[in-house]
Structure 1
């Protein structure tokens, strides 16, 4: 039987449709979380996830305190990456566009720097005046902002840490328009003009205008239950992803604080999160309950991922 051009066209359309359906079936659904690593890889102090340009994820406290673990791109298990100096314990990790890793050492009041290819962390900044550097975030100009909670006093502050033109590194507590609670999660808006800070004791998320002289224009954008917010990260659309510790979810907020959605997680104690993957749209969540990493896909690239590639 002769095959007509109409039949050929119909067959080609079916093949294209089937190929599209197959691709859709293999692509993970957005905002649907799954467990990425086995239970018990990390301690109760699991924190500070950060992804590098190659898609590797780095997380604090693998096996025991004072270590950094690495989940290689595409891997299903983590491996120990480095040990921190004796007595130091990491909390937050961030990685800049040059591939330099910064680690907040809350025990010894340090910000460590680890250059690409090195396994020997160096002290980038230290101050005995810190309660503890808890979470940190990087601006496009290299400035580091660090949250500094006083858990016993249920108070906190923000440090600004800068390397000068002569190479010397200095830090100072930023003047603020209000007395802060226990400052915890911290990140910048995509344009770098506003700083978002979670306060764990009150469950509040605050937004501040950033200036060299300090913080201004304090805006309370969202209040959750006390002691249910931890780390947070922003994406290129300006949304704020908040780890709802003890609630087993990531809240996705618009810049004004409106809840766009909540991403349900498999475990109840997310401590922090990071954007990674080849396109910056894979979110990795550190889970204290069980000591593992969860992951889900989102529809926008993370701000830090964009910054690493020089786009932000």
Structure 2
């Protein structure tokens, strides 16, 4: 499997979005930016969004929507960079929208419909109806830790509702190819959960009610890892990025491990996200956050073309 270092020097990149023209967008958590990476690896700042941009997705209006956690501390372990905690300038998390033509930023939500602050939005995905499913990881001060939530919001800023709660660090989020399943990964439990989608923003559990957020259990790692974000491929497999044991766990919709793709680039322990691009959707873009790199990988299976990919 060929791995190419496409860009480096990024400040904890996350949320890759492959554009139809061959560019890739990433957010930089410790820089507070949405950044464009050209096919030759050159980078340029699209927008200054502030806080801690953590996830990104193309929306139905062609803007890039961002899950902003509000910021995290930068710290190093063994020479590798990580993110966590609550910085002194933290106010709240938010959902933002960036116009790629001029870099203008609109903040759509800092609270939900019940007036509850968004604590730490992490990742997001659009459904075919133009709605946004997103995870709120919460915040931890070292002594206490929020329970995480899943929200469904409208792209016009008119509604943001909790659809699941009581989760342990919900991170990545994705939809099955038919849009009838919602998948969410939890970081420290290293578990993936799923729900049936019965309508826009409507999810229900099944046989394993009582799980985190009342979701159905799909998969957990057999060894010690921290699951990060995820992407769904064209075959319906859930591709979960992992830290510590760095790589991508490819999990079938039946909960069986299809493959673990170990990604050992400069010993980076922080593989955090994946997306796909190219004409055949077989080019994977993976964020190696702890060394500040965006990797380009020839992938064995095509990725799923997301809603509004061509917007």
What band does the TM-score fall into relative to the shorter chain? 0.7 to 0.9
Quick check: 1:81 aligned with 2:65? no
Q: Contact between 1:230 and 1:243, CA under 8 Å: does it hold in 2?
A: yes
Quick check: 1:220 aligned with 2:190? no
Find the residue that maps to 1:289 and give its secondary structure.
Answer: helix
Alpha-carbon deviation of 1:118? 2.6
Find the residue that maps to 1:134 and give its secondary structure.
Answer: strand
Aligned to 2:106: 122
Which of 149, 155, 169 aligns to 1:157? It is 149
Matched residues in 1 for 2:15 and 2:285: separation? 10
Instruction: Give the alignment of 1:142-153 within 5 angstroms.
Output: 142-152=130-140, 153=145
Find the residue that maps to 1:210 and give its secondary structure.
Answer: strand
Find the residue that maps to 1:247 and give its secondary structure.
Answer: coil
Which of 196, 206, 209 aligns to 1:209? It is 196
Alpha-carbon deviation of 1:227? 5.0
Alpha-carbon deviation of 1:271? 1.2
Point out 4+ residue stretches in structure 1 off by more than 6 angstroms.
Answer: none
Matched residues in 2 for 1:306 and 1:278: separation? 16
Change (3 A) 1:200 1:288: same
Matched residues in 2 for 1:199 and 1:297: separation? 27
Alpha-carbon deviation of 1:216? 2.2
Flag structure 2 segments of 5+ consecutive residues without an equivalent: 71-91, 207-214
Q: Contact between 2:47 and 2:98, CA under 8 Å: does it hold in 1?
A: no
Instruction: Compare the two structures and name the one with the higher strand fraction.
Output: 2
The TM-score with structure 2 as length reference comes to: 0.79
Larger Rg: 1
The TM-score with structure 1 as length reference comes to: 0.79
Alpha-carbon deviation of 1:98? 4.5
User: What whole-Å deviation, never above 9, does each CA across 1:106-132 have from its counterpart, x for those lacking one?
Assistant: 114221112341311112223152221
Quick check: 1:132 aligned with 2:120? yes
Instruction: Give the alignment of 1:287-306 within 5 angstroms.
Output: 287-305=288-306
Change (3 A) 1:195 1:294: same
Aligned to 1:232: 230
Q: How many residues align?
A: 268
Aligned to 1:48: 15
What is the RMSD of the two structures over their aligned residues, measured on CA atoms? 2.2
Q: Contact between 2:195 and 2:203, CA under 8 Å: does it hold in 1?
A: no
Instruction: Compare the two structures and name the one with the higher helix fraction.
Output: 1
Aligned to 1:90: 53
Q: Contact between 2:46 and 2:100, CA under 8 Å: does it hold in 1?
A: no
Matched residues in 2 for 1:58 and 1:170: separation? 27
Alpha-carbon deviation of 1:151? 4.4
Change (3 A) 1:257 1:294: same
Matched residues in 2 for 1:32 and 1:215: separation? 40
Quick check: 1:189 aligned with 2:176? yes
Alpha-carbon deviation of 1:248? 1.6
